[in-house]
Amino acid sequence: MELIKRIFRKAIVVLVPLSFLSAFIEWKKLPISILIGGILGFANIKGLAWGVEGLFGSGKATGKMIFFSMFRLFMLFLILSILVYLKLVNIFGILTGLTVIFALIIIEGYRLSKNLPGGGSDSKSDQRF
């Protein structure tokens, strides 16, 4: 959960200034769309983390976890569909917010993997990068 907290803190630091800057491009929908995309991306990752923790805790996938995963994806799709259908958001703003969260997950995951035993660039195959 520490990884999720770090991603949340960094997402705020990136998404809020990005939404303020986007107001110069389109001030009506783009800033709030970026924030909504970030919130939806973060909620999705939080639900995914909950499912993975449950899977590791029990050792097998339960019906409850499978239902929650399907329900989470359905709700994400439903919320995005409604917002786009009603033209309340800019689709590029939503994608920007989701991309920021995705990029932060990759960056923080890479940093975490470098700190784990056996991680880092000790092997010869990693030295070419």
pTM over 0.85: no
Q: Which helix (H) or strand (E) holds 40?
A: helix 30-58
pLDDT at 119: 63
Tell me the pLDDT tens digit for each residue of 23-82.
998 888 999 999 999 999 999 999 888 888 877 776 666 777 788 889 999 999 999 999
CA 67, chain centre distance (Å): 20
pLDDT at 67: 85
Burial letters 85-94, b for 16+ CB under 10 A, else e: eeeebbebbb
Burial letters 6-39, b for 16+ CB under 10 A, else e: ebbebbeebbeebbeebeeeeeebbbbbbbbbbb
Of residues 52 and 118, more confidently modeled: 52
